[in-house]
Amino acid sequence: MKILLLGYGKMGKTIEKIAVDKGHVIAGKIDISNRSDMDQLSATDVDVAIEFSSPESAFENIKYCLEKGWPVVSGTTGWLEHRSEIESLCKEKGGAFFYASNYSIGVNLFFRLNRQLARLMEGQDYKVSMTEIHHIHKLDAPSGTAITLAEGVIEELNNISGWKLAPEDDNGNLQITSKREGEVPGTHIVRYDSDVDQIKISHTAHSRAGFANGAVVSAEWLVGKQGVFGMDDLLKNLD
C-alpha cells in the first residue's frame, strides 16, 4: 500500500515506522515546508493519505486529497467546524474519508466504557467532570478525545447540556480541565463526585505507538471503500 503522510511531526514519523514495518511504502511526506510537492503526485501514486497535520492545515489537506481521488484518514483535531463540508465533498466525489479524534483501540474501548458509566449515572446524585493532560506541543484544548468523551456523557445524562473549559461556569455543563505538561502522550480522566464517594475512570497512553498503529490499521481498512467512516465502523470488524 502506498501511503501519503500529511504532517511529518512526531506522530507522522511514528506512523511512518509502523507502516514501513508492516510492508507499506511511503509515497510522500508533506508538511508546511513542502506542501507544493503534493502537486507532483498523480492519482495512482497514492493508495491512501494519513493526515496528522495541524488545525490550520487539516481542512485544505483533506479537501485536496478527496478532490484528487485519494482515500484519507484524518486524526487532526481543532478543525471540525468544517467537517460537514468535507463529508459532503466526500459523498459528491464518491470518495472515502475516515475520521477519529483518537485512533487508539484502547481509547475507543474507553469511549464505550464512558458511555456505559454515564448511562448508569442517570438519575444518581453525582457531579461529573473531566481532566485531560497532553504534551506542551498540542495546540488545541480541550483535546478531541476529551470532546468525544464529553459528547458521550451529554447524550446519556439529561442534566448535562454541554461542556465548558474550566474554570468557566459549569452550570448545566461538564467542566473539562486541560493541562499541557512535558511530552505526555495523553491522559483522560472522567470523575463522578458525590458527598460520600468518587467514581473515576481513566485512560493513560504510554506512547504514540497505539495511536499510530490504529491510524495505519484504519488506512488498510479504508482502501477500496466509499463513504464516511469512523472507529465504530472499524471496531465492528474487531468485535
Q: Which residues are annotated as a binding site for NAD(+)?
A: 75-77, 100-103
- Establish whether 91 is a catalytic residue: no
Distance CA 47, CA 220 (A): 9
Helix pair angle (144-156, 105-121), 10° resolution: 30
Cell of 210: 497505539
- Establish whether 164 is a catalytic residue: no
Binding site for NADP(+), by residue number, is 35
Question: DSSP per residue over 36-49, as a string?
Answer: GGGGG--GGG-SEE
Distance CA 237, CA 239 (A): 6
Distance CA 39, CA 52 (A): 19
Range list of β-strands (E), the chain:
2-6, 25-30, 48-51, 72-74, 96-99, 127-134, 162-165, 173-180, 187-193, 198-204, 227-229
Q: Does the CA dihedral 10-12-15-16 come out positive or negative?
A: negative
Q: Which of 24, 68, 134, 203 is catalytic?
A: 134
Q: Which of 10, 93, 127, 138 is catalytic?
A: 138
Distance CA 58, CA 38 (A): 14
Residue type, 129: S
Binding site, by residue number, is 35, 75-77, 100-103, 135, 144-145
Cell of 136: 506542551
61: nearest Cα among 88, 91, 90, 38: 38
Binding site for (S)-2,3,4,5-tetrahydrodipicolinate, by residue number, is 135, 144-145
Residues annotated as catalytic (active site), given as ranges: 134, 138
